[in-house]
Amino acid sequence: MKQQTLSELNAERAARRAVLVVTDVESGDQRLIKAADIAGDPLRDELGRHLRMGKSGMIEANGRRLFVNVYAPTARLVIIGAVHISQALAPLAQSLGYDVYVVDPRTAFASPERFPNVPLFADWPDVALPALKIDHYTAFAALTHDPKIDDPALVHALERDCFYIGALGSRKTHAKRLDRLKALGASESALARIHAPIGLAIGAVSPAEIAVSIMAQITAALRLPRESPAIAPMKVPA
């Protein structure tokens, strides 16, 4: 790998931006493609698929064999609310390779006993979230049911291009939430990105089942094309 290519690669990775390196197997020629430039690349479909899957591999294009190396940041999950669902969701996400963080100012809930081996931030979102440097490779789940905690956290997430944002609550609860977030300055297009009610429609009832439905929806948002119909919310009473 040429020094310039390596320097660009390291700079993108340090900034937690995905990047791909395409190598011509015969000639050894390489080129680096930033995630932001994939849409304009002749190989955009193949590159996009490899990036979504987070896996390197061989492709063929115009009679050439090319190896695509994928360098994607480790995905994060930020959970707002140290609640029962979070107790099931945090270890599930960790088992899938996510870096998980739980934020809840209520110290009775945000305790190491309830969340072993999970980084806890027992502060209000406006204090805790800036230090987490939330970005495009962050999934965000607001689970407290408390507007004083969830609303400012959701505004923060919407401003930082998270690949997934979900919020717990019924349709009626979410309608009221949207009114409050609009009053805080959130746009219609930003609010449309919130998955609420949170989770896929799998008939989940228990905290563990709801955690599974949430993690499935997060996985779909990460791995499937954005236009996929598979990313549907849970069905809950209004």
List the domain boundaries for the chain. Answer: 3-71, 76-223
List 134's β-bridge partners, or say none. none
Does residue 50 contact residue 70 with C-beta atoms inside 8 Å? yes
pLDDT in tens, 33-75: 999 899 999 999 999 999 988 899 999 988 899 999 999 999 9
pLDDT at residue 227, as a whole number: 52
Cis peptide before 197 (omega within 30 of 0): yes
List of residues 6+ apart from 70 with CB closer than 8 A: 18, 20, 50, 51, 53, 54, 55, 56
Residue 124 token pair: 């209000």
pLDDT at residue 2, as a whole number: 87
Strands (E), the chain: 19-24, 30-34, 57-61, 64-71, 76-80, 99-103, 120-121, 138-142, 164-167, 194-195
Residue ranges of the alpha helices (H) in 25-83? Answer: 44-53
What CATH fold (topology level) applies to the domain 76-223?
Rossmann fold (3.40.50)
Nearest 5°: the CA angle 207, 212, 213 is 95
Q: Which residues of the chain have pLDDT under 50?
A: 228-238
pLDDT at residue 1, as a whole number: 84
- Measure Cα distances from 132 to 79, 118, 135, 147, 173 in Å: 12, 14, 9, 21, 28
Residue closest to 86 by CA, chosen among 129, 142, 40: 142
* CA of residue 107 relative to chain centroid, distance: 26
pLDDT at residue 233, as a whole number: 47
